[in-house]
Structure 1
Amino acid sequence: MSTTPTTPSSAAPAVPPGRDLVVDLARVFCVLLVVAIHVMMVGVAVDDSGAVVANQPLQEQSWFPLSTWAGQIMPLFFVVGGFASATAWAGARRRGADAGDFVRGRLLRLARPAAAVFVVLALALAVATAVGVDPALIDVAATGVGTPFWFLAAYGITQLFVPVMARLHASRPWATLSALAVAAVVVDAVRYGTGVTEVGLLNLAFVWLFVQQLGFAYADGLFGRTPRLVLVAVAALGYASLVPLTTAGPWSDDMLRNLNPPTVPLMVLGVAQICVLSLVHPVLSRLMSTAPARTVVFALGSRGMTIYLWHLPLLVALLGVLLALGGPLPQPATATWWWTRIPVWALVIGLACLVSVATARFELPPRALPEGRRRASWWSIGVAAVLVIGPPFDVMQQGLDLRNAVAGAVCLPLAIWLLGRSRPVGELPLASSASPRAVSQRGGATAG
């Protein structure tokens, strides 16, 4: 089911063979839900003394922890990311690309849109600091704006391992999933047993690689072949198991608090969410057979990274303009405030789409290398990987500030330059048995 292409209607544009449009829909849904949640988390108002106050109305609700069992959608995001990575790696291999070509392409797909955001934020924070904006207000705004950057670090790590993990999936799928699950449990046991939270950072690899492997299995059609009754049972068991895990176990019942560092309950959520997606796949497939649905999904999906990375800066900028103009800012958590979240959400999405007009080229696949050239060495790719993942990782740990915004504004463009370098085809190890033509094909291949 998961790898069967959705049949387009006669009025709709052609769909590439083998493309699962439900995955495109799921990816867009995840991004839009993340934006909606963040819009409901940011509350800004002016108190009686005229001071600007900020809070998080959504997280202050008594029902918020339980709502995260449905609203914490990042495991599903990594599942569909795993599907995309599996299909992209398979396509790259068909074109004659090697692991270095693939990793280079995936890092560029992350670095280019992220670099633009870091540059803009570094400039904005520098100007705000220079003109004397209250440091406490800068800190609150910057910390909120930097919240989504953890994804760049986590997803970047998983992309580095795609060729290896795909090989393991092909040869030992269940053993690989089991090993990753056991490793994640051990990491959490040590983390909570010792009280050293930093140990949990190892699960940036184990938890998200486990969920990515679910995406590989989805791409193979495993969940499509599984009887629906089994999918229902596994999904129900997954959600039910969160009760003992978050009561008798050491984990929080708030899945947002389980996010960074990631914990075992997120793996459980990932299993449950992919089962649910597989169950509703026929309905969603029929929806995606319509031209309007595909038009909306393709339009937003092609701007997905821009919407994800820019929505909080745009939201903060919008609130700043309203504050400066004395515009309407309903008191957070009031009925009026909750109802206004819908138009604010739509406005932020619209603004992000406008930004994408200027940044659209950053989301395009990397251009093929010139004929007769091949990608940079593994050393260059390794250094670039550190430069791409390092600044977002620092933001995840320390929060966004001027220091790491500048670091990102410097490191990511440098990584893009390193990844864009090339070598003549003739610069090959003597032991290589590849023909010049095959190597040229590898050098020109890009990851989708």
Structure 2
Amino acid sequence: MPTSESTRFGRITTTRPLVPASRDLVVDLIRVACMFAVVAVHLLMMGISVGPGGIGVENPLTSLSWFAQGTWFGQVMPLFFVVGGFASLTSWRSLQRKGGNAADYLRNRVLRLVRPTVALYAFLTIALWSATAAGVPGDLLSVIAAGAGVQLWFLAAYLICQTMVPVMARFHEAAPYRTVAGLAAGAAVVDVLRLGLERNPWGFDSNPIGLLNMVFVWGLLQQLGFFYADGIFDRIARWKLVIAAVASYLLMVPLTDAGPYPVDMLTSQNPPMFPLVLVGLAHVLLVKAAYPWLQRFVRLEWVRKVMLVVGSRAMTIYLWHLPLIIALFGIALVLHLPFPEPASAEWWLTRPLFYVAAWALVLLASTPLVRLELASTALAPGASRPGLWSVLTATALAVIPPFVVMRTALDAWNATWGLILLVLAVVLVNGRQNSRLLRKATVE
């Protein structure tokens, strides 16, 4: 019979888990916590004001004196790539044991990530063209569209990292530390070139060079997740983990306050810069130091329920939370609700209400949409298994739309052709239908 243990925080479930014993629930907890943090930060970055001059949009967080330094702790995307690396290596090894190959792995990743994105692009295409036809002012529509597409950079970066998994897993098995050193060296070289060219007298744009760090920085953080999967951090005493995390933060001081890097880690994100590696390393070290407490926390019944609801639709929530937050503010405007001055005391006091309302809207909208995320990736009856080059082509097609949005911001045109490319990517990895076998299966 099920048994449980009550604590001051809730009930700890001691029944046989519904997940495999080998699954690291702390990793699931981190992913869910990151999702709550991302929604909170994006909500707080939208300060809407209504005045005689019309609707204004600003980022109230930049007015906080401690905000830039706070991003060393609140910038969670590096940690997200670390736990993504853990999940990727675990999935890749499991697939290999079943006889799968790189094409199978990447095909599954493309379907899991791109199918939910197709729905978002379809919605954005219809919404943006409809708003244009309705005569929404171009300046306002540009701000709304750009805000609705801010999160799409992650799809491009994560797909690039996922493409690397089979090869980087092989490097990890052969020479794990040399692989990390090579990635770190590559990230440092790219930053040196980028920061050096920023000071050139010819007005040369160095950001395209920095884009190479989508491979080196995010790839290095993913590689740290491989070490997490191998249990390397478990072999280090907790006090040493804390000291190493503090050392990572201390190393950031001369790199930012006295060095060439910005203190604000959000501005170091696109293109990514080397200090993000130190942020991700510090975070994972602190997670492992707190691991016994986190393990106890994930045994609480209510925590597992939250993890199940949010974790099972994480990609859907991530893709849709910004458009839905914008929709929430639109509803408030239509209802003529008061909009306090951004960053004022009244504004801060009303943010928890907006946060709860945003999550309610996100969970409501994600309920039907999550089917795209959870749908089976198995080949349809009669479909042939796509080859590696077909899958790589599909991956490239899927990377292009969010990559362009990351570089130029979202608008109606790139939402439209982006939708077409994403649909083509899904079609390519679905495999070709064998008409003869399909007719035979239909007759039978």
TM-score normalised according to structure 1 size: 0.90
Structure 1 counterpart of 2:342, which letter? P
- Of 29, 33, 39, the residue aligned with 1:29 is 33
**18 and 422 in structure 1: CA distance in 2 versus 1, 3 angstrom threshold:** farther
Q: What is the CA–CA distance in structure 2 between the aligned matches of 1:295 and 1:27, rounded to whole Å?
A: 14
- The Cα of 1:249 is off from its aligned counterpart by 2.0
- The Cα of 1:366 is off from its aligned counterpart by 3.3
Counterpart for residue 81 of structure 1: 84
- Alignment of 1:20 onto 2:17: no
Structure 2 contact 313–373 (Cα < 8 Å) conserved: yes
Q: What is the CA–CA distance in structure 2 between the aligned matches of 1:346 and 1:393, rounded to whole Å?
A: 31
1:42-441 equivalences in 2 (<5 Å)? 42-47=46-51, 49=52, 51-195=54-198, 196-364=206-374, 366-370=376-380, 374-422=384-432
Structure 1 counterpart of 2:19, which letter? V
Q: What is the CA–CA distance in structure 1 between the aligned matches of 2:368 and 2:418, rounded to whole Å?
A: 20
Structure 2 contact 379–431 (Cα < 8 Å) conserved: no
Deviations 1:70-96 (A, max 9, x none): 111100000010011011111111211
Q: CA RMSD in A?
A: 1.5
Structure 2 counterpart of 1:120, which letter? F
Q: What is the CA–CA distance in structure 2 between the aligned matches of 1:240 and 1:10, rounded to whole Å?
A: 41
Structure 1 contact 184–206 (Cα < 8 Å) conserved: yes
SS at match of 2:60: coil
Deviations 1:136-156 (A, max 9, x none): 001111111111110000000
SS at match of 1:58: helix
**137 and 372 in structure 1: CA distance in 2 versus 1, 3 angstrom threshold:** closer
SS at match of 2:61: coil
Deviations 1:67-121 (A, max 9, x none): 1111111000000100110111111112111110000101111101111111101
Q: What is the CA–CA distance in structure 1 between the aligned matches of 2:288 and 2:375, rounded to whole Å?
A: 28
Q: What is the CA–CA distance in structure 1 between the aligned matches of 2:348 and 2:395, rounded to whole Å?
A: 41
Deviations 1:352-406 (A, max 9, x none): 1111111111111533225675421222212211111000000000011111111
- The Cα of 1:247 is off from its aligned counterpart by 2.4
Deviations 1:220-243 (A, max 9, x none): 100011122221121011011111
Structure 1 contact 66–254 (Cα < 8 Å) conserved: yes
Q: What is the CA–CA distance in structure 2 between the aligned matches of 1:237 and 1:423, rounded to whole Å?
A: 56
Q: Extract unaligned runs of 5+ from structure 1.
A: 1-7, 425-448
SS at match of 1:52: strand
- The Cα of 1:290 is off from its aligned counterpart by 2.2
Structure 2 contact 108–377 (Cα < 8 Å) conserved: no
Structure 2 contact 71–265 (Cα < 8 Å) conserved: yes
Deviates more, 1:52-61 or 1:31-40: 52-61
Q: What is the CA–CA distance in structure 2 between the aligned matches of 1:151 and 1:280, rounded to whole Å?
A: 27
SS at match of 1:46: strand
Structure 1 contact 105–365 (Cα < 8 Å) conserved: no
Structure 1 contact 105–366 (Cα < 8 Å) conserved: no
Counterpart for residue 441 of structure 1: none
- The percent of aligned pairs where both chains have the same amino acid is 47
Q: What is the CA–CA distance in structure 2 between the aligned matches of 1:275 and 1:266, rounded to whole Å?
A: 14
Q: What is the CA–CA distance in structure 1 between the aligned matches of 2:82 and 2:272, rounded to whole Å?
A: 15
Moved over 4 A (4+): 370-374
SS at match of 1:44: strand
SS at match of 2:136: coil
Paired residues, number = 416
Structure 1 contact 287–293 (Cα < 8 Å) conserved: yes
- The Cα of 1:12 is off from its aligned counterpart by 6.6
**382 and 44 in structure 1: CA distance in 2 versus 1, 3 angstrom threshold:** same
Structure 1 counterpart of 2:55, which letter? V
Structure 2 contact 383–431 (Cα < 8 Å) conserved: no
**265 and 11 in structure 1: CA distance in 2 versus 1, 3 angstrom threshold:** same
Structure 2 contact 35–318 (Cα < 8 Å) conserved: yes
Q: What is the CA–CA distance in structure 2 between the aligned matches of 1:215 and 1:81, rounded to whole Å?
A: 7
Q: What is the CA–CA distance in structure 2 between the aligned matches of 1:383 and 1:153, rounded to whole Å?
A: 14
Q: What is the CA–CA distance in structure 2 between the aligned matches of 1:58 and 1:369, rounded to whole Å?
A: 47
Deviates more, 1:364-373 or 1:100-109: 364-373
Structure 2 contact 25–295 (Cα < 8 Å) conserved: yes
TM-score normalised according to structure 2 size: 0.91
Structure 1 contact 42–57 (Cα < 8 Å) conserved: yes
Structure 1 contact 119–408 (Cα < 8 Å) conserved: no
Structure 1 contact 391–408 (Cα < 8 Å) conserved: yes
SS at match of 2:13: coil
- The Cα of 1:17 is off from its aligned counterpart by 2.3
Deviations 1:205-225 (A, max 9, x none): 000110001001001100011
- The Cα of 1:277 is off from its aligned counterpart by 0.7
Q: What is the CA–CA distance in structure 2 between the aligned matches of 1:58 and 1:307, rounded to whole Å?
A: 23
